[in-house]
A and B are shown apart, each in its own frame.
Chain A
């Protein structure tokens, strides 16, 4: 089931990246908040992957080329601003996507209706931090701008229609752009003008073409499970 894999892998991979912050967050409240978001996403991933097969076989035994997540979510954490930029882009996308899915009444409506409440918080969290960092100190402003710029090129892929996901993709993109633009402007940041949606890319995550850091992430994630074939945990 392509759609369940695509949406499930997005959630799984982003959850893993956020989990890497544990013990490294800039302030104790963010240890709690980032773990909270990671847990929400992992919960979504488990439901979605289970629609497509055995969640653990899918997570731990697939090769890199079989993953269908967008490249945005696999990008390394970078500094806190980089992580927040990734959160902003993804949570605004996921919220729009789930709102449409929940309203559409299709296969994912139940999951989406539940998850959209979680994702609204993720978006709120990312928005508040984008404002604080963008409109905080000069250093934080620069770091936030760098994060926003660096990840912009991975946002075009978000709006490539996924087979089996019956939503209005153009309006998802329009709404996303309006929301993200509004937040960035309020945060005194410049909206990037680099390659966005529609720009040429040499394939991407939805086709199983990933970025170099993803292979290392999977190697770490899958190592223990693969070391004990057939074991139960």
Chain B
């Protein structure tokens, strides 16, 4: 599902600095000048910054915050859709939905791994999420009330996420950019599946059409908010753009998204709930109505319909799983890895990953991550 959103890239810029710089390979002050110059030149030349390269503390902190929030969004984002797995109305849809929710867990895995290259551990990031000290995308604080919401999330929320994320494939930080290439491929698949789900409902019974329209009515405005505050209110965007973490402004991406959705809504036979939405010949774009930023701020502050529910479920799963993780760590100590890996089938990637991460979770970040 949707993950990084502009509300993450512009809020709470200072968060995570201390932890992110703890492992930073900062040299003496004199050397910093030359290193800074090399870093600036690399960014200017569109070269990738890699984990072992010198980078400014603030760049590292900004990346940790954004990547952690992106990862958190993936795993919190599993909840609203998993809500419908047990009620999916056909076996084909059930398989598609389960696979999608599984993809989100997978995205969470590679994003946490990418963030770990900056010297923070997954456990640390999860602790911060659970303590409310790192965010996830606000969009997941809205409920999935009907089956059509699954389609609306795919079409609109994943659509907005892709609009935000495709430029991240060219992000200056190598591990993040590479993770995004793979994630974007899967997200665009999810977006098409959501669109196709709504298309089927739109061509269905009156009850199915009403369900689809209702879902689009509820998800349209929150999807537009995913691009974050308007440019003139987005204080930190400029720095992220200089660093080439971010490449387009919030309003620019929002406009792109609206222009893509309007003809798609027509093809679906659905109405977008905005009386002010119309084509502006002069601008060559669609004009659209004012966004309710009060709602955005309220949801961000924790007052959305599901903030409490999402975080509570996440904390509970983590707390209730503590004994399982402890058992895995304890077993790993008693039985060194080589013998345990001997029987893992080669065609499955999950099994060995599980074991390795189990073992790592209770040990300090490895040398590479903190180097």
A to B CB contacts below 8 Å, 13 in the list: A19-B85, A25-B321, A26-B317, A29-B109, A29-B354, A35-B102, A36-B350, A124-B351, A125-B350, A131-B335, A133-B324, A135-B335, A220-B87
| CB-based contact B324/A80 at 8 Å | yes
| CB-based contact A231/B207 at 8 Å | yes
- B contact face: mostly helix, strand, loop, or mixed: helix
On whether A23 and B78 interact (CB within 8 A), knowing A29-B354, A224-B89, the answer reads yes
Closest to A36 in B: B350
A69 to chain B, nearest CB (A): 15
Asked if B260 lies at the interface with its beta carbon under 8 angstroms from chain A, I say no
In the bound complex, what is the Cα–Cα distance between A133 and B354 (angstroms)?
Answer: 14
On whether A28 and B345 interact (CB within 8 A), knowing A33-B351, A224-B89, A225-B89, the answer reads no
Asked if B327 lies at the interface with its beta carbon under 8 angstroms from chain A, I say yes
| CB-based contact A228/B205 at 8 Å | yes
Please name all residues of chain A whose beta carbon is closer than 8 Å to the beta carbon of B205 when the two chains form the complex.
228, 230-231
- A contact face: mostly helix, strand, loop, or mixed: helix
Asked if A59 lies at the interface with its beta carbon under 8 angstroms from chain B, I say yes
Interface residue stretch chosen among B90-98, B166-174, B273-281, B287-295: B90-98
Please name all residues of chain B whose beta carbon is closer than 8 Å to the beta carbon of A5 when the two chains form the complex.
none
- If A20-B85, A124-B345 are given as contacts, then 18 extra A-B residue pairs at C-beta distance below 8 Å, sorted by A number, are A24-B320, A28-B105, A28-B112, A29-B357, A32-B105, A36-B350, A38-B98, A39-B102, A42-B95, A46-B91, A56-B90, A60-B89, A60-B90, A136-B326, A224-B89, A228-B89, A228-B208, A233-B93
Asked if B347 lies at the interface with its beta carbon under 8 angstroms from chain A, I say yes
From the candidates A25, A60, A220, name the one contacting B86 in the complex (CB within 8 A). A220
In the bound complex, what is the Cα–Cα distance between A35 and B105 (angstroms)?
Answer: 10
| Interface size class, chain A | 35 or more
Asked if A117 lies at the interface with its beta carbon under 8 angstroms from chain B, I say yes
Asked if B334 lies at the interface with its beta carbon under 8 angstroms from chain A, I say yes
From the candidates B108, B112, B330, B344, name the one contacting A136 in the complex (CB within 8 A). B330
Closest to A121 in B: B348
Please name all residues of chain A whose beta carbon is closer than 8 Å to the beta carbon of B353 when the two chains form the complex.
29, 32
Please name all residues of chain B whose beta carbon is closer than 8 Å to the beta carbon of A29 when the two chains form the complex.
109, 350, 353-354, 357-358
Residues of B at under 8 Å CB distance from A? 75, 78-79, 82, 85-95, 98-99, 101-102, 105-106, 108-109, 112, 122, 147, 200, 204-205, 207-208, 313, 316-318, 320-328, 330-332, 334-335, 340, 343-345, 347-348, 350-351, 353-355, 357-358, 361
| CB-based contact A128/B85 at 8 Å | no
From the candidates B105, B321, B331, B344, name the one contacting A131 in the complex (CB within 8 A). B331
In the bound complex, what is the Cα–Cα distance between A29 and B110 (angstroms)?
Answer: 11
Within 8 A of B (CB), among A1-56: 12, 16, 19-20, 22-33, 35-36, 38-39, 42-43, 45-46, 49, 55-56
In the bound complex, what is the Cα–Cα distance between A224 and B109 (angstroms)?
Answer: 32
Asked if A137 lies at the interface with its beta carbon under 8 angstroms from chain B, I say yes
| CB-based contact B354/A30 at 8 Å | yes
| CB-based contact B208/A231 at 8 Å | yes
On whether A233 and B86 interact (CB within 8 A), knowing A137-B326, A228-B205, the answer reads no
Please name all residues of chain A whose beta carbon is closer than 8 Å to the beta carbon of B101 when the two chains form the complex.
22-23, 35
A156 to chain B, nearest CB (A): 28
In the bound complex, what is the Cα–Cα distance between A143 and B328 (angstroms)?
Answer: 14
Within 8 A of B (CB), among A69-122: 79-80, 117, 120-121
Closest to A20 in B: B86
Q: What are the 3 A-B residue pairs with the smallest beta carbon separation, nearest first?
A: A26-B321, A136-B327, A140-B327
Asked if A174 lies at the interface with its beta carbon under 8 angstroms from chain B, I say no
| CB-based contact B351/A25 at 8 Å | no
On whether A133 and B327 interact (CB within 8 A), knowing A29-B358, A30-B354, the answer reads yes
Asked if A212 lies at the interface with its beta carbon under 8 angstroms from chain B, I say no
In the bound complex, what is the Cα–Cα distance between A33 and B328 (angstroms)?
Answer: 15
Please name all residues of chain B whose beta carbon is closer than 8 Å to the beta carbon of A65 when the two chains form the complex.
none
| CB-based contact A80/B321 at 8 Å | yes
From the candidates A19, A45, A121, A133, name the one contacting B351 in the complex (CB within 8 A). A121
Please name all residues of chain A whose beta carbon is closer than 8 Å to the beta carbon of B78 when the two chains form the complex.
22-23, 31
Q: Which of A19, A29, A30, A135 has the most CB of B within 10 A?
A: A29
